[in-house]
Structure 1
Amino acid sequence: LDFFSILSVKLNGGRHVQGILRGFDPFMNLVVDDCLEMGPGGQQNTIGMVVSTSSVFLCC
């Protein structure tokens, strides 16, 4: 996992976002930029930057 990698991240609450990794720390806090939220039925919404401080599941 390195900076500028494109990640697909599943967040708590069933949300799924995909974007460019901008930062992380040893506690798995993530900063993901240029995010698309993947909705049901293939719907995609541009949401910009996501800062996740919760449990996540990474799909690289």
Structure 2
Amino acid sequence: MSKPSTPELKKYMDRRLLIQLNGSRKVTGVLRGYDVFLNLVLDDAFEEKSGDEKIKVGTIVIRGNSVVTMEALERV
């Protein structure tokens, strides 16, 4: 079995991202770290609920298998 390759996320480090998760959930935050499984560490994170409601969640770890899409919210 081959060794998993590290995702190319260096250019997104310390940038604000919108992460779309399974279950129609959305989280925005600043990318502070990641690993080969696409587990993400976000700082200053908010969970976006329906109707423009945002809940501050602070620093969080998101499991890679729950990530559907990632979008940079600032110039990379």
1:58 is the counterpart of 2:70: yes
Aligned Cα RMSD in Å?
Answer: 1.2
Structure 2 length-normalised TM: 0.70
More strand by share: 1
Count of residue pairs brought into register by the alignment: 60
Larger Rg belongs to: 2
Q: Deviations over 1:14-35 (max 9, x none)?
A: 1101010010122211011111
Where does the alignment leave 5 or more consecutive residues of structure 2 unmatched?
1-10
Structure 1 portions without partners, runs of 5+: none
Paired position in structure 2 for 1:35: 45
Q: Percent identity?
A: 38
Structure 1 segments, 4+ long, off by >3 Å, are: none
